[in-house]
Amino acid sequence: QVQLVQSETEVHKPGASVTVSCKSSGFSFTSHPIHWVRQAPGQGLEWMGWINAGSGNRKSSPKFQGRLSLTTDTSANTAYMRLTSLRFEDTAIYYCARFWADGEALDFWGQGSLVTVSS
């Protein structure tokens, strides 16, 4: 079955960087773009960017102004989201999700990774 398993909770100081991993199984990793979505405490969902492991194409929200890096390791069927120069407002649960082209939807989601930015 399709699964996206993310890395665990992390705590970082302002200015540091964090990398969240998203290991996929049960489907062709290179055939489905992976999107990243975050959710601040008590808030709604915010799209961050996507990457296609098959083509190498990627796109990030301008909101992150070069702080966001999306990569993949096709040998490990894993996607990575790296956010640098962390700020207090980056505290959130970060989700990876598979994009299903036929339905134009994010059909499977990881369990989420809590990133806390605290001094």
Partner 1 sequence: DIVLTQSPLSLPVTPGEPASISCKSSQSLLHSNGFTYLNWYLQRPGKSPQLLIYLGSRRASGVPDRFSGSGTGTDFTLRISRVEAEDIGVYYCMQALQTLTFGGGTKVEI
Interaction between residue 59 and partner 1 (CB under 8 A): yes
Nearer to partner 1 by Cβ, of 62 and 66: the residue is: 62
Contact partners, residue 91, CB within 8 Å, separation at least 6: 40, 41, 115, 116, 117, 118
Number of residues in contact with partner 1 under rule CB under 8 A: 21
Torsional class of 107: left (φ above 0), alpha (ψ -120 to 50), beta (otherwise): alpha
Nearer to partner 1 by Cβ, of 41 and 119: the residue is: 41
Interaction between residue 41 and partner 1 (CB under 8 A): no
* Footprint on residues 97-116 left by partner 1 (CB under 8 A): 97, 100, 103-107, 109-112
Interaction between residue 35 and partner 1 (CB under 8 A): yes
Residue that has been written with the tokens 């990774």 in this structure: 113
Torsional class of 28: left (φ above 0), alpha (ψ -120 to 50), beta (otherwise): beta
Interaction between residue 38 and partner 1 (CB under 8 A): no
Query: What is the identity of the amino acid at 66?
Result: G
Among 46, 54, 64, 116, which residue interacts with partner 1 (rule: CB under 8 A)? 46
Contact flags string 1-20 toward partner 1, x per CB under 8 A? --------------------
H or E element, residue 104:
none
Outline where 1-119 has alpha helix (H). none
